[in-house]
Amino acid sequence: MDKAHKFHIVGGDSRLRAEQARLAFAMGHHAEVYSDLAELFDASPGEGIIIAFDDIFEDGMDVLLERLSDQGIWLPVVAASQSSDVYDAVAAIQAGAFYYLCLPLTQEAIVRLVDHAIAEAARHISARRRLVEARQRIGSLSKREREVLDWLSEGCSNKAIARTLAISPRTVEIHRANMMDKLGANHAAEAVRLRLEARLRHEDRDVSSEGTEPDEGDVSAGRG
């Protein structure tokens, strides 16, 4: 082994955490254990790999990653579960997990994890930062601005978007300009790239502002 790694083991019961920590120590790595996220947040680790058991990401891996990001914790997160269901593994990875491990851990599994971390951890953290930043920017859009971005990402022209949303092309232009300004995008391609980095779909659109959007006349009058 060329380098010892630090594992932050979160969740499960004390016996399960201890067993996994002992295995890591036996292989020359270091392990810290936490009963829940509150303890992890208090420690605020700045290096290593987080191994999160089922109960820690039961609300969804994406929710866990958002909570970690809010705390300024950007370490790779490994989903560890006693389930060997391939669909669970795929769902965790698609939601942003760095890796998926079946419990109990084995030496072979840790070796594979370490090899993967050496090759991919930096890229994964960078991509996760871009995802969070993109979602924050897109979250600032109004409902109508988000709709324009969604259809723009489908390759629709202003006229096509206007027909779909039953508004005028001039109103689409205004919403598009506001959207680009909020996203800090100079070109449509930049706005579309942000949406792709955020991994958003049409149905993920925030509808909290539904019903509050100015009508076409108000929008046009507001911008002249």
Contact present, 132 and 111 (Cβ < 8 Å): no
- Does residue 116 sit in the same domain as residue 161? no
Question: Domain residues for 164?
Answer: 140-223
- Does residue 106 sit in the same domain as residue 145? no
- Does residue 177 sit in the same domain as residue 92? no
Q: What is the pTM of this model?
A: 0.69
Instruction: Write out pLDDT tens, residues 101-119.
Output: 999 899 999 999 999 998 9
- Does residue 88 sit in the same domain as residue 150? no
1 assigned to some structural domain: no
Among residues 121, 153, 173, the one where a domain terminates is: 121
For the chain, percent of residues with pLDDT exceeding 70: 88
Contact present, 70 and 98 (Cβ < 8 Å): no
126 assigned to some structural domain: no
215 assigned to some structural domain: yes
**CATH number reported for the structural domain that contains residue 11 in this entry:** 3.40.50.2300
- Does residue 32 sit in the same domain as residue 92? yes
Q: Which of 131, 80, 126 is nearest to 103 (CA)?
A: 80
128 assigned to some structural domain: no
- Does residue 17 sit in the same domain as residue 79? yes
The DSSP H or E segment spanning 102 is strand 99-102
Instruction: Write out pLDDT tens, residues 13-27.
Output: 999 999 999 999 999
- Does residue 157 sit in the same domain as residue 196? yes
- Does residue 93 sit in the same domain as residue 151? no
85 assigned to some structural domain: yes
Structural domain count, the chain: 2
Contact present, 138 and 149 (Cβ < 8 Å): yes
- Does residue 16 sit in the same domain as residue 72? yes
102 assigned to some structural domain: yes
Contacts of 2 (CB under 8 A, 6+ apart): none
184 assigned to some structural domain: yes
Q: Which of 70, 73, 31 is nearest to 51 (CA)?
A: 31
Please give the Cα distance from 164 to 148 (Å, whole number): 10
User: Digits of tens for pLDDT over the chain (224 positions)?
Assistant: 568 899 999 999 999 999 999 999 999 999 999 999 999 999 999 999 999 999 999 999 989 998 999 999 999 999 999 877 888 899 899 888 999 999 989 999 999 999 999 899 989 888 888 888 888 899 999 999 999 999 999 999 999 999 999 999 999 999 999 999 999 999 999 999 888 888 765 445 543 334 334 444 434 333 33
182 assigned to some structural domain: yes
